[in-house]
């Protein structure tokens, strides 16, 4: 198993340490966030990314924000907590894990306030909740990995898009959690990793993460996926998710929808692996999922180098929505559900 830590809490200095994913795979550097603004910037610029990791980082981000204010001798009341939460919530709109984690942190704050905890006491409660969110995240992914591995035949060639691995979570991974569990079970699997334009999470992160763990991985450009399917080089697709609506529509990294269409055309199973913290039952279907649009610079250039005319208009949605009708099943820590049966895990 990989030795890197996607994120780590350092309590003596109230610091959230992040593996800076913007620099991978060339440089393995850690980024120490001691101020709320550092955490918000890290999420916004994808130093930490992937829906579950964003949720965990935001939970610790609340502790960073509260600690920062306490250090400065400021009071931290409900209004201040709301400000901290708002700054973190403004970083990225699509991954629902961000808002889910912030809601959990607010609920802990409310309870602690009602029980008359002082500032330091509330900080302790918030830190305990952030640690719980982190531990639950890893636990959920190990569980869904084990469940999902049952769907993977020995010798399977699995296509994945973006990075839904340990780098995208507290640890282990969702789509790559299933891959890891199948590999650990002794199945001779291999992965085809889509490069994932424009920010290359597949090329920079999935290829790095899997090759470190000695899981066979071959990198392809996004526009090669359908060709590989037509050539019989793919047995199934597994991707992660940023938000799943009640009917099973799935928002994930831009390009996922195209992969799902190609999978359907070639009669291949298309699985989505995600913890239940990625389900958004407040949305009946995917039309209400907010789609993040990012800077044109990400499409016009790479690594600071222009790859298109400097003033060319650009459309840069970071996510798309795959309709439930193209999803074979959603693999969660609570079981494997075809979209039509997701309602079985609706909260009471």
Which one of 24, 36, 50, 331 is in contact with ligand MRU (CB under 6 A)? 50
The H-or-E segment that residue 321 falls in is: strand 319-322
Nearer to ligand MRU, 168 or 289 (CB): 168
Nearer to ligand MRU, 123 or 141 (CB): 141
Give residues with Cβ within 8 angstroms of 311, minimum separation 6: none
Considering the rule CB under 6 A, would residue 206 count as an interface residue with ligand MRU?
A: no
Residue closer to ligand MRU, measured from CB, 145 or 240: 240
Can residue 49 be called a binding residue for ligand MRU (CB under 6 A)?
A: yes
Q: Which is the catalytic residue, given 194, 222, 242, 320? A: 242
Residue 242 known to be catalytic: yes
**CB-neighbour burial class of residue 331 (10 A; exposed 0-12, middle 13-18, buried 19+):** buried
Site string for ligand MRU, 125-154 (x = CB under 6 A): ------------------------------
**Measured distance CA(160)–CA(213) in Å, rounded:** 16
What's the order of all strands across the beta sheet hosting 329-332?
A: 217-220, 190-194, 157-160, 236-239, 270-273, 329-332, 335-337
Instruction: Identify which of residues 126 and 162 has a Cβ nearer to ligand MRU in the complex.
Output: 162
Q: Which of 196, 204, 148, 198 is nearest to 172 (CA)?
A: 148
What is the per-residue binding string for ligand MRU in 300-319, x denoting contact by CB under 6 A? ------------------x-
Q: Is 8 left (phi over 0), alpha (psi -120 to 50) or beta?
A: beta
Using CB under 6 A, which residues numbered 223 to 262 contact ligand MRU?
A: 240-242, 252-253
Q: Contact at 8 Å (CB) between 239 and 193?
A: no
H/E run at residue 102: helix 96-114
Establish if 168 lies at the interface with ligand MRU (CB under 6 A): yes
Rounded distance between C-alpha atoms, residue 301 and residue 305, angstroms: 5
**Which CB sits closer to ligand MRU, 127 or 169?**
169
Q: For ligand MRU, give the closer residue by CB, 126 or 171.
A: 171
Which CB, 202 or 339, lies closer to ligand MRU? Answer: 202
Q: How far is the CB of 141 from ligand MRU (least distance, A)?
A: 8
Nearest to 236, CA basis, from 194, 268, 197, 279: 268
- Using a 10 angstrom Cβ sphere, with 0-12 exposed, 13-18 middle and 19 or more buried, the burial of residue 287 is exposed
- How many residues bind ligand MRU (CB under 6 A)? The answer is 18
201 binds ligand MRU (CB under 6 A): yes
Q: Binder to ligand MRU among 15, 91, 174, 276 (CB under 6 A)?
A: 174
Question: Does residue 328 bind ligand MRU (CB under 6 A)?
Answer: no
The nearest distance, CB 127 to ligand MRU, in angstroms, is 24
Query: CB-based contacts of 116: which residues, under 8 Å, 6+ apart?
Result: none
Is 96 an interacting residue with respect to ligand MRU (CB under 6 A)? Answer: no
Phi-psi region of 215 (alpha: psi -120 to 50; beta: other; left: phi over 0): beta
Helices assigned H by DSSP within 150-199: 175-184
Among 10-18, 44-52, 185-193, 230-238, the segment contacting ligand MRU (CB under 6 A): 44-52
Q: Residue 309 region, left (φ>0) first, then alpha (ψ -120 to 50), else beta?
A: beta
- The residue from 164, 171, 181, 260 that contacts ligand MRU (CB under 6 A) is 164
Structure tokens at 166: 């340990």
State which residue has the least CB distance to ligand MRU. 240
Active-site positions read 242
Site residues (vs ligand MRU, CB under 6 A): 46, 49-52, 95, 162, 164, 168-169, 174, 201, 240-242, 252-253, 318
């Amino acid at each position: 198993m990989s030795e890197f830590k996607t994120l780590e809490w350092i309590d003596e200095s109230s610091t959230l340490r992040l593996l800076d994913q913007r620099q991978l795979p060339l440089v393995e550097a850690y980024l120490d966030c001691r101020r709320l603004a550092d955490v918000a910037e890290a999420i916004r610029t994808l130093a930490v990314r992937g829906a579950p990791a964003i949720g965990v980082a935001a939970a610790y981000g609340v502790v960073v924000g509260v600690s920062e204010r306490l250090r400065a001798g400021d009071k931290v009341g409900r209004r201040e907590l709301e400000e901290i939460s708002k700054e973190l919530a403004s970083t990225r709109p699509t991954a629902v894990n961000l808002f889910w984690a912030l809601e959990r942190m607010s609920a802990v704050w409310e309870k602690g306030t009602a029980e008359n905890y002082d500032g330091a006491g509330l900080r302790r409660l918030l830190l305990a909740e952030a640690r719980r969110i982190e531990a639950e995240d890893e636990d959920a992914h190990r569980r869904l990995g084990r469940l999902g591995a049952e769907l993977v035949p020995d010798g399977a060639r699995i296509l994945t898009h973006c990075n839904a691995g340990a780098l995208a979570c507290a640890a282990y991974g969702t789509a790559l959690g299933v891959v890891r569990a199948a590999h650990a079970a002794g199945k001779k699997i291999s992965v085809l990793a889509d490069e994932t334009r424009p920010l290359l999470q597949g090329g920079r992160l999935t290829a790095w993460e899997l090759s470190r763990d000695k899981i066979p991985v071959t990198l392809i450009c996004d526009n090669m996926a359908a060709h590989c399917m037509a050539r019989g080089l793919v047995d199934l697709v597994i991707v992660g998710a940023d938000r799943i609506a009640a009917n099973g529509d799935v928002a994930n990294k831009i390009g996922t929808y195209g992969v799902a269409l190609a999978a359907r055309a070639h009669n291949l199973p298309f699985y989505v692996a995600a913890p239940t913290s990625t389900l958004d039952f407040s949305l009946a279907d995917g039309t209400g999922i907010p789609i993040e649009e990012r800077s044109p610079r990400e499409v016009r250039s790479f690594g600071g180098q222009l790859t298109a005319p400097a003033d060319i208009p650009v459309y840069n949605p970071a996510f798309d929505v795959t309709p439930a009708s193209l999803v074979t099943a959603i693999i969660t820590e609570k079981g494997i559900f075809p979209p039509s049966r997701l309602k079985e895990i609706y909260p009471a």
